[in-house]
Structure 1
Amino acid sequence: MSKIVLLLLVLAPSFYSCNSFKKLNNTQRGAIIGAGTGAAMGAAIGRKSNPAIYAIVGSAVGGIAGTFVGKYMDKQAEKLKKDLDVVADVERVGEGIKITMKSGVLFDFNSSKINPTVNDNLMKFAETLKQYPDTEILVAGHTDNVGTEAYNMKLSQQRADAVAAVLKANNVSRSRLTVLGYGEKDPVADNTLESGREQNRRVEFAIVADDKLKKDAVKASGNEVSKK
């Protein structure tokens, strides 16, 4: 079972009934932030409280080990910025990477069929993920609030599945992927405006360290301390 899924099961028992971290109470959010991420990540939570951010925060190891993880992510993020060019925003957040792809680029309106124009970008994305294998990836689909809540949930899942299918077809291990639809539950902009609805129609990724990378980072940080 993916460590991202385990994180969600432990920290957000209501998650599968609503497919959204928005249902986490303040105590649960505080527990995640307190996992070694510090005030800077707490500020990030306040700025962008969405599933991708929570996945990154909850997966953090913190301390010197977190610095080693961060260096691994720095190199990967630079490559991903080139891979995804103008089709996505790539951000380094804490010990992970958050990527936001606009559905207007990926899909036609009310469709889950990926536009051929972004195939090359997604293939490059997959190649980079294979070059940095010690990570797990949350693929999260989101919609605006046009239409019924049930329809939007289904569409968001279909879109997340479509993107994940491209990654798997290009040999990204399915065991690394957690693929979830969030429907209209997690808007990042005002749904009463077309510009806001466009921002809300998106697919996000959270790239976090897997157990191997965390163990390697802890070991490396121990060696670093012993040299001092």
Structure 2
Amino acid sequence: MFTSRRLILATVAAALLSGCASPNPYDNQGQAQSGQGVSRTAKYGGLGALAGAVAGAAIDHNNRGKGALIGAVVAGAASAGYGYYADRQEAQLRASMANTGVEVQRQGDQIKLIMPGNITFATDSSAIAPSFYSPLNNLATSFKQFNENIIEIVGFTDSTGSRQHNMDLSQARAQAVATYLTSQGVDTTRLAVRGMGPDQPIASNADANGRAQNRRVEVNLKPIPGQQYEAPAQQ
């Protein structure tokens, strides 16, 4: 029993330390760091190893030490794989979206792109604005290179006008983005489209500046459940 416990602890410690020690080519760019200076790759790998060790020990009742070791290695590798994949994609998106007006955010295991109304669509229109084509082309290029995400496209409006009109308009705008990305070679089976209308505002609708912020399109990149991830080679 004592030996099994030491094996579990050693396995988890090794996974955490190896994750922290592994060089991350994007550490100096700021987007792949956690609050304490540990890359998401290391964080996901270490936490995955811990969860895997617990699960492995629970599954193999006859040899908990062996089960923990197997669980830690498998789960840790899978988690670190997505963490590194997302780090790479985030860095590529930040570079390609620079100076376009598109904001790139990282929220745990998801990447969010916020596209403000001043570059996306004219007022009360779902026709793609000329200023929006360049960011969309960059997105299409990234999505074809990093082709193992779920891509959720969500349209939003301000609160001006009827709710039903805004729901329809936001859906049409999200669909216009999806249609254009598909025309540029992005696999349509990866795309999900939603219109949220005036729901989930990010600013006050009481003034023009706030309404402009609320008129936006968001693209959320999410991992595919159960997918094994390996980041594509650098171009």
1:113 aligns with 2:127: yes
1:127 aligned to 116, 119, 141, which one?
141
Number of the residue aligned with 1:34: none
After TM superposition, give the deviation of residue 131 of structure 1 in Å: 0.5
In the TM superposition, what whole-angstrom CA distance separates every residue of 1:17-50 from its partner, at most 9, and x where no partner exists?
xxxxxxxxxxxxxxxxxxxxxxx9xxxxxxxxxx
Number of the residue aligned with 2:151: 137
Gaps of 5+ in 1: 1-39, 41-61, 220-228
Q: Is the 8 A contact 2:102 2:135 kept in 1?
A: no
For 2:106 and 2:199, locate their aligned partners in 1 and report how far apart those are by CA, in whole Å: 24
Q: Is the 8 A contact 2:204 2:210 kept in 1?
A: yes
AA in 2 matched with 1:66: S
2:80 aligned to 67, 74, 79, which one?
67
TM-score normalized with structure 1 length: 0.64
How many residues are aligned here?
156
AA in 2 matched with 1:87: G
Higher RCO (Cα < 8 Å, 6 or more apart): 1
1:150 aligns with 2:161: no
In structure 2, relative to structure 1, the CA distance for the partners of 1:152 and 1:95 (3 Å cut) is: same
Gaps of 5+ in 2: 1-33, 35-46, 49-75, 231-235
Please state whether the residue corresponding to 2:161 is helix, strand or coil: coil
After TM superposition, give the deviation of residue 159 of structure 1 in Å: 0.6
AA in 1 matched with 2:108: G
Q: 4+ residue stretches of structure 1 with deviation over 4 A?
A: none
**How well do the aligned residues superpose, as a CA RMSD in angstroms?**
1.8
- Structure with higher helix content: 1
Larger radius of gyration: 2
Please state whether the residue corresponding to 2:228 is helix, strand or coil: helix
After TM superposition, give the deviation of residue 68 of structure 1 in Å: 2.4
Please state whether the residue corresponding to 2:137 is helix, strand or coil: helix
Q: Percent identity, aligned pairs only?
A: 35
Q: Is the 8 A contact 1:189 1:199 kept in 2?
A: yes
AA in 2 matched with 1:207: L
For 2:101 and 2:92, locate their aligned partners in 1 and report how far apart those are by CA, in whole Å: 14
Please state whether the residue corresponding to 1:92 is helix, strand or coil: strand
1:203 aligns with 2:217: yes
In the TM superposition, what whole-angstrom CA distance separates every residue of 1:167-186 from its partner, at most 9, and x where no partner exists?
00011011000001000111
In structure 2, relative to structure 1, the CA distance for the partners of 1:114 and 1:66 (3 Å cut) is: same
Please state whether the residue corresponding to 1:87 is helix, strand or coil: coil
After TM superposition, give the deviation of residue 112 of structure 1 in Å: 0.9
